[in-house]
Structure 1
Amino acid sequence: MITIKLFSIFLLLFCSTIDAQLQEKKIDSLITTEFNDPNGPGGAFMISHKGKTIYRKAFGKANLELNVNMTPDNVFQIGSMTKQFTSVAVLMLEQQGKLNVNDPISKYIKDYPSGDKITIHHLLTHTSGIKDFTKMKAISTIAQKEMKPEMMVDFFKNEPVDFAPGEKFEYNNSGYVVLGYIIELVSGQTYEDFIKKNIFEKAGMTHSYYATDRQIIPKRAYGYHQKEHGFVNKTVINFSVPFSSGSLMSTVDDMLKWQKALNQNTLLNPAETKKAFQKYRLNSGEEFTYGYGWHLKDINGSPDREHGGSIFGFKSMGVYIPGEDIYVIGLSSCDCHSPTEITRNIAKIALQSVKK
């Protein structure tokens, strides 16, 4: 009887190991369809289940010129995943009683055109209608200039609006630049300092930064573009331009710490956290699938929270499935390799695996 029980346990463990190995090979194969050049720019991917890392690998090179292999510890620019941090910073200030998401932005930026009709909520949900500065032809004139937040806001604030506040959902980087400026005005700190002291340090994110090309960043992954003749170093921009809409850097491990901090209410109380992850409605009553800094979609019928990022030389994607506590993060050091569909497909595999 004991022998049969022991054999059954051994068989169960053996089958679990075999299944895990098969799943790992499946995920490896999925990633290498895109990251197929071991001598080209690389990426790092991680899967966690219930806070425990179950897959963590890197592919390709972190630096082509020095022939340095990518590791899961490398630091990447995360582009628009920055918006998650900006939205949580706003909610932290609301939690402290320093602002309200229903406040008009004219309360903080007196001379903003029609600022009495545009609320912080509109900015957070991409429903403000203000002009997205990344779509303006004049963007090339400031891309490499040091821009104060006020200068960035001045750059686009007098442009004609695309629609009335609350009328449509249209992804908008300008809204999140305005939010960064409001964070500075309300907190009395720079955006960089606020994020570092109130989020990175509290969450234990010791390898996350406000992006810089001058500061020495240990284990920095270098960014690349792909041209007809091969890879080239990324275009240089001044990070004061994307600012609070896309200027943070992180690692796969730190992004898991971020997810844990959100789950454990380390940064926000449950009421404020709920605001970030609920769907909202347009003026017409139509619901749209974006909260505050996250797209709210589903993976094979399971609700998820997701967001990607793209900035010169880098792409990123994170998917969280709250029902199963699955987090998948993919970071790429070439904007020629998108981790978006790979990360979503990995999440599907992980979801199927835990539901067996």
Structure 2
Amino acid sequence: MMRTKILFLLIFFTSFFSLANQIKSKEIDKLLTQYHQLKQFNGVALISHKGKVLLKKGYGKANFEWDINHTVEGKFKIASITKQFTAMLILQLVEKKKLKLDEKLIEYYPSYRADTGSTITIRQLLNHTSGLGNFFHLDGYKAVEARNHYTLDEFISKFCSEDLNFEPGTQFRYSNAGYTILGKVIEQVTGKPYSEVLTEQILNPLNMNNSGFNQQHSVINNRVAGYERLLNRLEHPSFIDMSVPFSAGSIYSTAMDLYRWDRGLAENKILSKPLTKILYQVTEHRNYAAGWLVDNYPEERFGKPLTRVHHGGMIPGFNANISRVLEDDTLVVLLDNTGGAPMTPITEKVLSIIYDKAYEQPELRLSQKLYNMIIEQGTSASIAWYKTLIAHDEGFSERQLIRFAYELVDANEKQAATAFLTLNAVLNPNSKRAQHALKSITSL
């Protein structure tokens, strides 16, 4: 009799939680569909809770020219999410006693410039406190240099060997150069190409068979095409040679493979538990650890304290995000091939659904609202409405307003762009940026 009651209760609670998960799955699907209809998400999502997949689905087109829909098999560039794989490879070498985190860079990369390499540690490269800069911010880099192919040594010599911006360990500065150098360290220590070590130590053990290192000329089945979404159309993105992002951003993957990555981390399949904890140990300077950002949510946000470890990735034509809630084995993977999807708001709304919390409904971006008003009612009406937003402190920051003006130029609305930048110059009379932007637009 007792055994029968226990069996009944087990079946009841299993059915109850299964039904609850189905309801959450439908609500998440509705949310993502809304974002897709607003043209703010075009890609693939995978959501899991307590290790079980709640939703895996594609939204929109993997290739607009051929009218091909997204499927969960689509392979996306994941850009800077690559960094957590590089960090894992470094910690695996630490576990094998082939490398020490607090040893100087010069010990593992003797040909690097000695004056800086003798002051930077491997740990500082992992958490972006080395003092190295970010080559993507160099003048003319995106327009010219990112299109060129380099050997790794050429690239490091030209873009990752500058003078330090600060004494190592004293500040935070996000550095793709630092993670490029970590890729070189992996090659130096193992005697193998980074891509080979990645495959042997992570991809194969976790059965991530649809992931790999993005070689520029390789033919890759189910590769998703990337686009840039403008205010009034889609365009092909700027070209970037994949030798450039290297170990800082050259991996491609699928939603399911990133789920396998999550399971590998949660179950310590490829790294011991003590060393896995280092992946999430932040510095005093920023909530950045080793390839992961770490956010601690207070109890009032989702009903209990939660730790979200996450990282985004952005490269021309794509943006991606992976978020993991450590306490509950919750995973949110978002892969987009039109660039600029609002990954953090989407993720936090998904978490609100999972934890039964209220959330604000998605709406059009302010830039799109203003553009639509320009088209439908004219520039004057759009400016007038924007002034009411300013009065309620709901307008753009100066930087955002300038960016919007350039988006208007791309949408063939130079007159409107000039009007908004003229307003910006009035609002910020002492801003050199405002004057420069207005002069640049009017001279086009």
Q: TM-score, normalised by structure 1?
A: 0.89
Aligned residues of 1:44 and 1:70 also touching (Cα < 8 A): yes
Q: What aligned pairs does 1:166-181 form with structure 2 within 5 A after superposition?
A: 166-181=169-184
Letter in 2 for 1:27: I
Aligned to 2:339: 335
Q: Distance in 2 between matches of 1:42 and 1:292?
A: 29
**How much does 1:171 deviate?**
1.6
| 2:296 is the counterpart of 1:295 | no
Gaps of 5+ in 1: 283-287
Aligned residues of 1:326 and 1:351 also touching (Cα < 8 A): no
**Structure 1 residues 124-180: Cα deviation after superposition (integer angstroms, max 9, x where no partner):** 001111121111114233212221221221123443322211111222211101101
**How much does 1:76 deviate?**
0.7
Aligned to 1:61: 61
Q: Kindly report the root-mean-square deviation, in angstroms, between the aligned alpha carbons of the 2 structures.
A: 2.7
Provide the secondary structure at the position in 2 that maps to 1:57.
strand
Q: 1:350 aligns with which of 341, 348, 354?
A: 354
Letter in 1 for 2:71: T
Aligned to 2:123: 121
Aligned residues of 2:211 and 2:253 also touching (Cα < 8 A): yes
Q: Distance in 1 between matches of 2:315 and 2:13?
A: 45
**How much does 1:46 deviate?**
0.9
**Structure 1 residues 178-210: Cα deviation after superposition (integer angstroms, max 9, x where no partner):** 101111111111111111111100111000011
Q: Distance in 2 between matches of 1:212 and 1:110?
A: 26
Q: Distance in 1 between matches of 2:240 and 2:152?
A: 15
**Structure 1 residues 70-112: Cα deviation after superposition (integer angstroms, max 9, x where no partner):** 0112111101100000000011111122111111111124442
Aligned to 1:198: 201
Q: Structure 1 residues 81, 60: CA separation in 2 closer, same or farther (over 3 Å shift)?
A: same
Q: Distance in 2 between matches of 1:310 and 1:95?
A: 30
**Structure with the larger RCO, 1 or 2 (CA within 8 Å, 6+ apart):** 1
**How much does 1:9 deviate?**
8.8
| 2:267 is the counterpart of 1:269 | no
- Per mean C-alpha deviation after superposition, the further-off stretch among 173-182 and 212-221 is 212-221
**Structure 1 residues 267-320: Cα deviation after superposition (integer angstroms, max 9, x where no partner):** 1112221211222335xxxxx322111011134330121111111111111111
Q: Identity of counterpart residues, as a percentage?
A: 31
Letter in 2 for 1:126: H
**How much does 1:254 deviate?**
0.4
Provide the secondary structure at the position in 1 that maps to 2:204.
helix
Gaps of 5+ in 2: 358-444
Aligned to 2:36: 35
Aligned residues: 347
Q: 1:326 aligns with which of 323, 330, 344?
A: 330
Provide the secondary structure at the position in 2 that maps to 1:249.
strand
Q: What aligned pairs does 1:8-157 form with structure 2 within 5 A after superposition?
A: 16=17, 19-36=20-37, 42-107=42-107, 108-112=109-113, 113-139=115-141, 140-157=143-160
Q: Structure 1 residues 6, 292: CA separation in 2 closer, same or farther (over 3 Å shift)?
A: closer
- Per mean C-alpha deviation after superposition, the further-off stretch among 112-121 and 54-63 is 112-121
**Structure 1 residues 332-355: Cα deviation after superposition (integer angstroms, max 9, x where no partner):** 1111323332123212322348xx
**How much does 1:26 deviate?**
2.4
Aligned residues of 2:51 and 2:329 also touching (Cα < 8 A): yes
Aligned to 2:251: 248
Aligned to 1:259: 262
| 2:304 is the counterpart of 1:310 | no
Q: Distance in 1 between matches of 2:14 and 2:50?
A: 20
Aligned residues of 1:309 and 1:316 also touching (Cα < 8 A): yes
Letter in 2 for 1:336: G
Aligned residues of 2:214 and 2:252 also touching (Cα < 8 A): yes
**Structure 1 residues 17-63: Cα deviation after superposition (integer angstroms, max 9, x where no partner):** 6644442332123223332268x982111111232212111100000
Q: 1:221 aligns with which of 216, 221, 224?
A: 224
Letter in 2 for 1:137: D
| 2:191 is the counterpart of 1:188 | yes
Q: Structure 1 residues 157, 235: CA separation in 2 closer, same or farther (over 3 Å shift)?
A: closer
Letter in 2 for 1:290: Y
Q: Structure 1 residues 111, 31: CA separation in 2 closer, same or farther (over 3 Å shift)?
A: same
From the two aligned structures, give the one with the greater strand fraction: 1
**How much does 1:263 deviate?**
1.8
Provide the secondary structure at the position in 1 that maps to 2:82.
helix
Q: Distance in 2 between matches of 1:158 and 1:220?
A: 34
Provide the secondary structure at the position in 1 that maps to 2:62.
strand
Provide the secondary structure at the position in 1 that maps to 2:117.
coil
Provide the secondary structure at the position in 1 that maps to 2:116.
coil
Aligned residues of 1:316 and 1:338 also touching (Cα < 8 A): no
From the two aligned structures, give the one with the greater helix fraction: 2
Q: TM-score, normalised by structure 2?
A: 0.72
Letter in 2 for 1:193: E
Aligned residues of 2:116 and 2:164 also touching (Cα < 8 A): no
Aligned residues of 1:315 and 1:338 also touching (Cα < 8 A): no
**How much does 1:239 deviate?**
0.7
